[in-house]
A and B are shown apart, each in its own frame.
Chain A
Amino acid sequence: MSASRLTARLRRLVPWAALLPLAATVLVAYLGAALWSLRISLSSSHTFPASDFVGAAQYERLFDNERWQLALHNLGIYGALFIAASMAIGFLLAVFIDQKVRGDGLLRTAFLYPYAMSFVATGLVWQWVLNPDSGLQNVVQQLGWKSFVFDWIVDQDRVIYTIVIASVWQASGLVMALMLAGLRGVDIEIWKAARLDGIPTWRVYVSIVLPMLGPTLATAFVVLATAVVKAFDVVVAMTQGGPGTASDLPAKFIMDHLFGRANIALASAGAMVLLATVLALVAPLLYVRGHAARKAAKVTQ
C-alpha cells in the first residue's frame, strides 16, 4: 500500500480515536455500572453484593412499598413544575438582562449565586423561611395581615411545592446563563432588520429568537431533567422527606436504602425502575429526532 493511501486511511480513523475517552467511559463506567446494578437488583444483597438470584422479588417489594409509590408520584409533580418554572424564569431573566440594563453584572450574579451554594445550608434557610412559626407567615402576620397563611411546608399535600420553590430558586440562574450564551449567538443583523421592519422587541423574541434557541432550550431541558431525577439533597436539607414521608423523592429513597438501610439490592431496583421510566419517556423522542436527522442527512448527501 502506498504511503499516501495509508495516511489517508489513518486520517479517517482519527475521529474514532478522538472518541476513545467517550467510548471507554460509556462502556466501562456507565454500561458496566448499569449492568452491575441490574445484576444486584436481582439478588438479595444487603451491605455487600451477594451472588444469589431472587428474580423479581426486589421489584415486587418496591411496587408494594407505599413510600416508593409516593416518591414516584412526587417526582412527576416536582419534575413538571420545576422544569417549567425554571425554563420560563430563566428565559425571562435572560431576555430582560439582555435589554442592556444597567448593573447587569450585579443582577446576573444575584440570580446565579444560589447555584454556587450547597443545599446543606441553603436548604435549612428555606426551611426556616417557609416555616409558619419562624418564617414568612409569622413576619407577614406581625406586619398586620393577621389572616395570612403560608404553611405549605408542614402540610402533607403541599410540601412538595416548597421543594419546587427552593429548587427553582437554585436552578433558574443556570438556565439564565445558558440562555444568555445562546442569545449571544443570535446574529446582530436580525435585530437590525427587525428594527427596520418596526417589529416590537417582544415579538422578535417570541417568534424569531425563541425558535433559533432550539438547541439551547434542549440543553437546558436535559440539564434540568437530570437534576430532577437525581434530586435528593434539597429534600434532605429542607424537610428530611417529611412531614412523615410526604416529600420523598425516588433518589432519596434510593440513597436511604443504599447507605443507611444497607439494602443495595432494593436501591438498585429503584435505580433501574427510574432509568426505565426515563427511557420510556425519552426513547420515542430520540427515535423521532434520529429519524428526522437521518432523513435530512440523506437529502443533503
Chain B
Amino acid sequence: MTLAIRTLAATGLAALAGLAAAQPPRAEVVHWWTSGGEAAAAKTLADAYRAQGGVWVDTAVALGEQARSVAINRIIGGNPPTAAQFNTSRQFLDIIDQGMLNNVDDVAAREGWDKFLPPIVLNAVRVKGHFYAVPVEIHMTEWFWYSKAAFKKAGITAEPRSFDELFAALDKLKAAGIVPLAHGGQPWQENLVFAAVLSNLGGRDLYLKVMRDRDPAAIRSDAFKQVLLTFKRLHGYVDKGSPGRNWNDATTMIITGRAGVQIMGDWAKGEFTNAKQEAGRDYGCIPGFGPHSPYVVQGDVLIFPKTTDPLAIRSQKLLASVVTAPATQVAFSMKKGSIPIRTDIDVSKMDVCARQGVAIMKDVSRQVGQDELYLTPDQNGAMVDVLTNYWNREIPVEKVQNDLIAALRD
C-alpha cells in the first residue's frame, strides 16, 4: 500500500473511532416493569441514564417469565439487548456458564460495591469472582398488612407480635364478620404465605437449613412440621372465593375493610396509594414478629449480554454506574415500593414502612434470601407445587414433608 493510501486509511479509521467515541451511550433494556407504578419507577432509571448523556431504549415485556425468555432467545439469536432484567436469584447462572454475559468488574471496583451491598445481594451478583449483574432494588416479600378500620371494628388494639397473637386477632376478626385473612389463591402467593410462617415461626436457622441447605433432617424435624401445620391452619381463615384471585384483589379487600390481614410483599403499597390510603393512618405494615424476625430479601437485577461492540460495552458500564447511584436508588424505590440496595444513603423522603425496612436491613443478622436466591427455578417450582397442593387439599403432613424432600433434591 502506498504511503498516501495508508495515511488516508489511518485518517479514516481515526475519524471513525472519533465518531464512535462521540456517539452517545445507547442502552436497550428488556424488563417487565409494565404497570403504572412500575413504569414510573423504570422511568426514573431512564431519566437518570439520560441525565448522564445516555439514550434509553425501552423494551418492556409483561411478566418475568416472558421477559427473561425474550432476553434469552434474543441472546441465542444473535440480537441481544444491552441489558435485561432478571431477579436477584439463580436464574442467570446458566447464562453465565454459557459465557453469554459481560461482567462489570471495573464499575464495581471503582464504586466499591462490595462495601455497600448487603451480603445476600453481593453473593447473587458476584459469581465466580466476577460481577455479572447490577442490583436495582430490594423487595421484602413477607410483610403483614392490616386494615386499621377492620382492626378497630374487631376490637384489636395492638399489632400482633407472634403467631399466637396473630391467630387471636384473626379469631376476633372472624367473630366481627370480617374476612380474617385476605388471600389470592395462586401458587406463588401460597408459597409467599408459607415463607412468612417459616421465617417468623421457624426462625432464621430453620429457614436457612430448609431453603439454603435443603437439609432433609431439618425438613423432617418437628419444628418444621409445626411450621407446615401452622401454614395449613391459616387456610381456615381465608374466604371461599380465594382460589385464583389476583393479589391486588386481595389487597382491595383490606382497602375496603372487608378483610383484616394480608401477607404480601412491599409492592402492595402501590395499591393502597392508588386508593389514596396512607400508611399508619388507614393501614398498617408489620415486617415480622419480634425484634429479630428475618427480613426476607428479593429483588431485581440487570444483566449484560455479551458483546464486543465498544459502544455497547460503554453503554452497559454507564448503566451499571447510574443504577447504583444514591439519587437513582431513592427515586426508583419511592415509585416502586421497594427499598434501595444500599443502606448508606438518606431515605427520609420514603414512607414509614420503607424506612422501617431500611432500618432492619442495617442489621445483617436479620437478612435472609427469598427461596429463589438459594434454589434453582426447577427446585423452587417443584416446592411450590407441593405447598399449593397442601394448602388446597387434605394431605397428611408427613407426606408433605417427604414430597418436599423429593422436590428439593438435586
Contact = CB atoms under 8 A, between A and B. Distances in A.
Interface in B355-410: 376-378, 380-382, 385, 388-389, 391-393
Contacts of B380: 261
Contacts of A159: 243
A262 B385 contact: no
Contacts of A262: 91, 94, 376-378
B281 interface: no
B244 A260 contact: no
B251 to A, nearest CB: 15
Given A47-B95, A156-B392, A239 B243 contact: yes
A131 B385 CA distance: 23
Interface in A63-122: 66-67
A154 B381 contact: no
Nearest to B69: A259
Nearest to B239: A133
A46 B381 contact: no
Contact of B389 (A245, A260, A263): A245
Interface residues of B, number: 31
Contact of B392 (A243, A256, A259, A263): A243
B187 interface: yes
Contacts of A131: 241, 244-245
Contacts, number: 85
B397 to A, nearest CB: 16
Contact of A242 (B66, B72, B243, B382): B243
A261 B68 CA distance: 11
Interface in A220-277: 238-246, 256-257, 259-263, 266
Nearest to B190: A244
Nearest to A127: B244
Interface string A26-67: 000000000000000000001110000000000000000011
Nearest to B380: A261
A133 B240 contact: yes
A260 B65 contact: yes
Contacts of B95: 47-48
Interface in A119-142: 127, 131-134
B226 interface: no
A164 interface: no
Contact of B378 (A132, A153, A240, A261): A261
14 contacts: A46-B94, A47-B72, A67-B385, A131-B241, A154-B242, A154-B243, A240-B244, A242-B187, A244-B393, A245-B385, A257-B381, A260-B377, A262-B94, A262-B377
Given A131-B245, A133-B241, A243-B244, 8 more contacts: A48-B98, A131-B244, A154-B185, A156-B393, A239-B244, A245-B187, A262-B378, A263-B377
